[in-house]
Amino acid sequence: IQVKGPKGTLNQTLTALAEKAQVLVISPSATSPDITDAGEFIFRTAPSDAFAGEVAARYAYGTLDKRNAAVLSENTDYAQALREVFTGRFQALGGKIVLDETFNTGATDFTSQIIKIKAAQPDVIYLVPQTAAPGVQLVKQLEAQEIDTQLLTAEVLVGRDVVGENGKLMEGLIGIEAYFNKDGPRAKALMDAYQQEYKKEAPYPFFMANVHGQFFLIKEGIEKVGLDTAALRDWLTTVEDWEGTMGKLTLDENGDPVLEAYSILQVTDGRLKDVEIFSTKK
């Protein structure tokens, strides 16, 4: 769930209203770290950006052996949450943030940021747009200026449709997204049905599986404890290794999913390919 408005204000107001009215909220896509402490009636099956940003930093520093990072992020709640976690963790590991630039939504010309990147000479660039369009523009303009530094990004830029349309341009780009078992029975049936209906791969399979799986999760909860929201809240806090479309789901004491791994993906020969499954455990 994404609501546009002054940074954080509207999202915080909505969750506060839901909490006060004891309206159960469960999101398949809300990733802000603030959701963790939003209240007893607020749940989600998408992981906090705190995990994604940390995995990106650990992968850049440990696996890619990069020491000097530039960060280009959109001025939105989602992008800034990832930026904050990545920069903090990368520096804690011993790396240096040689450039930390933001851009406003709607920007199309990134000349000033690219000039600064050239001067900073990073060995990895972490791109964090809110949507794919500015990310693709950034990649185009970096290529036009002959900057071939390793690009690292979050799930937005590795949407299957985005890579399908821009595979050659995005060659070598590495993306990080939450891992789930795409070969699980419910997940495979859903993805196969999508492929058959639309003749293409689902653009964001993890989030699609989350939306689908939540219907079965709530259905089971209602069947077991009824429609009382307090009872449903209590039942959700007991969910452990529940088999859904996204695989086995466990919710922690804050209503967040316990996620043990992320998928590392890379655009190779114009197509998005699995590189490894990266553990969230330190």
Q: What is the pLDDT of residue 95?
A: 98
Chain centre distance of CA 16: 24
Q: Find the mean pLDDT for residues 82-100.
A: 97
User: What count of Cα atoms within 13 Å lies in the side-chain half-sphere of residue 93?
Assistant: 25
Q: What is the pLDDT of residue 29?
A: 87
State pLDDT tens for residues 11-20.
Answer: 556 777 888 8
Give the whole-angstrom CA distance, residue 282 versus residue 91.
16
SS3 53: helix
SS3 161: helix
User: What count of Cα atoms within 13 Å lies in the side-chain half-sphere of residue 66?
Assistant: 24
Do the bridges between strand 261-268 and strand 174-178 make them parallel or antiparallel, or are there none, so unpaired?
Answer: antiparallel
Indicate the length of the chain as a whole number: 282
Binning pLDDT at 50, 70 and 90, where does residue 282 land? low
**Hey, what are 67's tokens?**
């020491």
Chain centre distance of CA 113: 24
- pLDDT above 50 for 43: yes
Q: What is the pLDDT of residue 182?
A: 86
Residues 6+ positions from 116 with CB-CB distance below 8 Å: 99, 101
Q: Find the mean pLDDT for residues 224-236.
A: 95
| Cα distance from N-terminal residue to C-terminal residue, the chain | 29
User: Cβ-count burial of 32 within 10 angstroms (0-12 exposed, 13-18 middle, 19+ buried)?
Assistant: buried
State pLDDT tens for residues 123-175.
Answer: 999 999 999 999 999 999 999 999 999 999 999 999 999 999 999 999 999 99
Do the bridges between strand 271-279 and strand 261-268 make them parallel or antiparallel, or are there none, so unpaired?
Answer: antiparallel
Give the whole-angstrom CA distance, residue 83 versus residue 1.
20
Q: Find the mean pLDDT for residues 21-30.
A: 88
Q: What is the pLDDT of residue 10?
A: 39
